[in-house]
Amino acid sequence: MAILQVKGLTKEFGGLVAVDHLDLEINKGEILGLIGPNGAGKSTAFNVISGYFKPSAGKVFFKGEDITGLSIDKIASKGLVRTFQHTLLYSDLTVRENVLAGLHLHYKSGLFDALFGFRTAHKRTELERRATELMEVLGLATRSNERSGDLPHGYQRLLGMAIALSSNPDVIMLDEPVTGMNAEETASTMSMIRKMMQEMGTTVLLVEHNMKAVMGLCERIIVLNYGKKIAEGSPKEITQNIAVIEAYLGAKANAT
Ligand SMILES: Nc1ncnc2c1ncn2[C@@H]1O[C@H](COP(=O)(O)OP(=O)(O)OP(=O)(O)O)[C@@H](O)[C@H]1O
Ligand SMILES: [Mg+2]
């Protein structure tokens, strides 16, 4: 059975239908790509699925449970989390402190507690261990004491992923994890995403403009255009799909 199921999901902003009757299913352990030209509705779909926005219509089922319209915190606590297109970090804190802050939010204690005190020595050791493990999986271990705001852009994205992963989610939704990265950073982030899936068993829903990354990571891809699903299939099927080619060419023509 699908771990995440989206049925007829619709989000309107005033007269604009940003997501239009979207159906989507993702199986446990799968990496599903969600692509489409700028403004196609990808981030909005993430926002509605993750509880950041309430849908205008449609349903979201997670592990068989109807989670439609629940808050982002409630949905995250059930094991469905997302990263943002623009990273949200405490830029004055170090990498390790940011990861610890994420872990503490999950373990229901405040940021102050995360930084300046721990309730028990055992909890402290356990959280330190988890933080180290997450930083190792994402290739951040050697930068653990650096101020987050000073990190190169690519590492800030990885830190955003580490924070999202701190609650040990079943499904992570990544919004443009490699956009703006150079080829080397992209390749290393792709291998981190694979490692995360293998070592943590995380299911991934990926929004990304970098086609090399999408084609290299995803077994299955859904294409949105003007909020509507216009194609679904393997990377090969998608690259040969006429409607997809036209959507991207149309987007290019409009931009020039
Ligand atoms: N909060 C909002 N209020 C009003 N309109 C919005 C809002 N968020 C998104 N939109 C509109 O919804 C449409 C879909 O936007 P969205 O950000 O979901 O696209 P996207 O596929 O993520 O694009 P990109 O690839 O550029 O990130 C766009 O027309 C956008 O202007
Ligand atoms: Mg977007």
Q: pTM of the predicted model, to two decimals?
A: 0.89
- Domain region containing 225: 4-255
Point out the ligand 1 atom lying closest to the alpha carbon of residue 45: 18
CATH number at residue 80: 3.40.50.300
Strands (E), the chain: 4-13, 16-26, 31-35, 57-62, 65-66, 80-82, 171-175, 203-207, 220-225, 228-233
Ligand 2 ion: nearby residues, β-carbon < 5 Å: 43
Number of residues in the chain: 256
201 alpha carbon – ligand 2 mean position (Å): 26
The ligand minimizing its distance to the Cα of 228 is 1
Nearest CA to ligand 1 atom 9: 44
> pLDDT of the chain along its 256 residues, tens only?
799 999 999 999 999 999 999 999 999 999 999 999 999 999 999 999 999 999 999 999 999 999 999 998 899 889 999 887 666 678 899 999 999 988 877 765 555 455 555 556 667 788 899 999 999 989 999 999 999 999 988 888 899 999 989 888 999 999 999 987 889 889 989 998 998 899 889 999 999 999 999 999 999 999 999 999 999 999 999 999 999 999 988 877 777 6
The count of domains in the chain is 1
Which region holds residue 67: left if phi is over 0, alpha if psi is between -120 and 50, else beta? alpha
Nearest CA to ligand 1 atom 31: 39
Task: Indicate whether residue 42 lines ligand 1 (CB < 6 A).
Answer: yes
Nearest to 140 by CA among 167, 103, 148: 148
